[in-house]
Amino acid sequence: MTTTTTAYAALAPKSRLERTTIERRAVGEFDIQIAVKYVGICHSDIHQVDEGWGKSIFPMVPGHEIAGIVSEVGPGVTKFRAGDRVGVGCMVDSCRTCENCKAGNEQYCTGGGMVGTYNAIGKDGRPTYGGYSRAIVVDENYVVRIPDALSLDIAAPLLCAGITTYSPLRHFGAGPGVKVAVLGMGGLGHLAVKIAHSLGAEVTVLSQSLRKQDDGLKLGADHYRATSDPRTFEDLKDTFDLVLSTVSAPLDFAAYLSLLKTDGTLVNVGIPEEPISLNLFSVIIGRKSLAGSAIGGIAETQEMLDFCAQHGFGAEIELIRAEQINEAYERLVEGDVRYRFVIDADTI
C-alpha cells in the first residue's frame, strides 16, 4: 500500500516551493520508512529547482540531507529497527554490481548511474522525491546510522555537505603536515574547515571577504584570507598541497592553481552552472592536478558520521520552519547563511 505524506515541492522551474501531498511507495522487503525530523538546504537544491544544470523533473521535492527516525521496516531488513536514528544523503539506489558499486563508490556507479534522492527516476520507473517531506521510504542499503553523540539537526547537513568535503579531503591526503586551503565558507566550506582541521591539516580559508573571519578561526582554520585582496594571491603563491573549492559560481581557476605547490591538487566540489575555460599552462607548470569529486560512498558516509561524532561536531545551523524555505533560498543565493539552513520537518 502506498502512503501519502506532506512535502514542499517546486511545481515548475524556478518556481517557489509550496506545500503539497505526495505518494511514497509501499515499504518493500528491504525498505525502511523514515519519519523525517530534519532536512538541510543544499545549494544543489537551488541549482536543480532553477534548472541551472539542465532539465529537471517536476514537481520536485528537494532535500538530500535527511535525518530522521525509522518508523517501519520491511520483512527482509536486517540493518535497522523501528526507533533507530538514521540518515539519507544524495542517493537512494545504484546498480550494486559494477566495479564502483562493489568498491563502495556507489556515487560513481557505471551500471546506469546512482539514483538521486530526488530529481531522478527510481528503479520502479517513478520519480524520486527528496526529504522536504515528513516521511520517506528508502532501501536499507542506502541508509546510514547517525551516532548517538550527534543530535539529528546538526547531523542532517553531514549527509551531503559533510561527505562531499570529507571524501576528497581523505582521498587527497589532508592530514598532519599538509597545507589545505578551503575556498568558499558556506555550507560545504565550513564543514571542510572542521574536517580538515580534525584530520590534522594546516587550514587556510579563502573567502571573498573577511566578514566571517572570526567564525572561520573558531571552526578550526589556522589562517583566513580574503580573495578580494590581490595581496592574498601574491603572498600565498606556491603554498598549498591541496585547495578544495566549494564555490557555487564560476571562478578564475588559474589564479587558484597558482596557489598550489608543485604536484599540488585543486579539487573542485562546487558545481557552477557555466563551463570554465582554462589556460593549461596553469597545470603544466608545476605538474599540478585539477580534480573533481562527488559526494562519497555509503560506507564512507558512515565513516564520516562516526568521525564527526568522535571529534564532537556537526554543522553550524540555522533552524527554520517549512514556511521559511523560499526566504531561505533567497538568503542562500545572497550568501546570507551561517552556515546551513535546516528545516524542522515537523513543520512541513
Task: Tell whether the torsion through CA atoms of 328, 131, 171 and 106 is positive or negative.
Answer: negative
User: Taking phi first (over 0 means left), then psi (-120 to 50 degrees means alpha), and beta for anything else, what does residue 33 get?
Assistant: beta
Rounded to a whole number of angstroms, the minimum distance from the CB of residue 44 to Zn ion is 4
Answer yes or no whether residue 109 interacts with Zn ion by CB under 5 A.
Answer: yes
Answer yes or no whether residue 283 interacts with ligand NAP by CB under 6 A.
Answer: no
Answer yes or no whether residue 44 interacts with ligand NAP by CB under 6 A.
Answer: yes
Q: Which does 141 bind (CB under 5 to 8 A by kind): Zn ion, ligand NAP, none?
A: none
Q: Which stretch binds ligand NAP (CB under 6 A): 11-19, 71-79, 112-120, 187-195?
A: 187-195
Distance, in Å, from the CA atom of 328 to the CA atom of 41, rounded to the nearest integer, reads 8
Answer yes or no whether residue 169 interacts with ligand NAP by CB under 6 A.
Answer: no
Binding mask 68-97 for Zn ion (x = CB under 5 A): --------------------------xx--
Which residues have C-beta within 8 Å of that of residue 144, sequence separation ≥ 6? 86, 87, 88, 89, 159, 298, 301, 302, 305
Residue of the chain from 24, 37, 43, 179 that contacts ligand NAP (CB under 6 A): 43
Answer yes or no whether residue 247 interacts with ligand NAP by CB under 6 A.
Answer: yes
Answer yes or no whether residue 192 interacts with Zn ion by CB under 5 A.
Answer: no
Residue 109 CB neighbours (<10 A): 21
Distance, in Å, from the CA atom of 272 to the CA atom of 263, rounded to the nearest integer, reads 25
Residue 147 vs 335, nearer CB to ligand NAP? 335
Q: Which does 178 bind (CB under 5 to 8 A by kind): ligand NAP, Zn ion, none?
A: none
Q: Which does 101 bind (CB under 5 to 8 A by kind): ligand NAP, Zn ion, none?
A: Zn ion
Rounded to a whole number of angstroms, the minimum distance from the CB of residue 336 to ligand NAP is 9
Answer yes or no whether residue 5 interacts with ligand NAP by CB under 6 A.
Answer: no
Distance, in Å, from the CA atom of 158 to the CA atom of 42, rounded to the nearest integer, reads 11
Q: Which does 95 bind (CB under 5 to 8 A by kind): Zn ion, ligand NAP, none?
A: Zn ion
Contacts by 93-102, CB closer than 8 A, 24 or more apart: 93/122, 93/123, 93/139, 93/142, 96/141
Answer yes or no whether residue 189 interacts with ligand NAP by CB under 6 A.
Answer: yes
Contact 66, 117 (CB under 8 A): yes
Which H or E run includes 116?
strand 115-116
Which H or E run includes 318?
strand 317-320
Contact residues: Zn ion, CB under 5 A: 42, 44, 94-95, 98, 101, 109, 111, 160
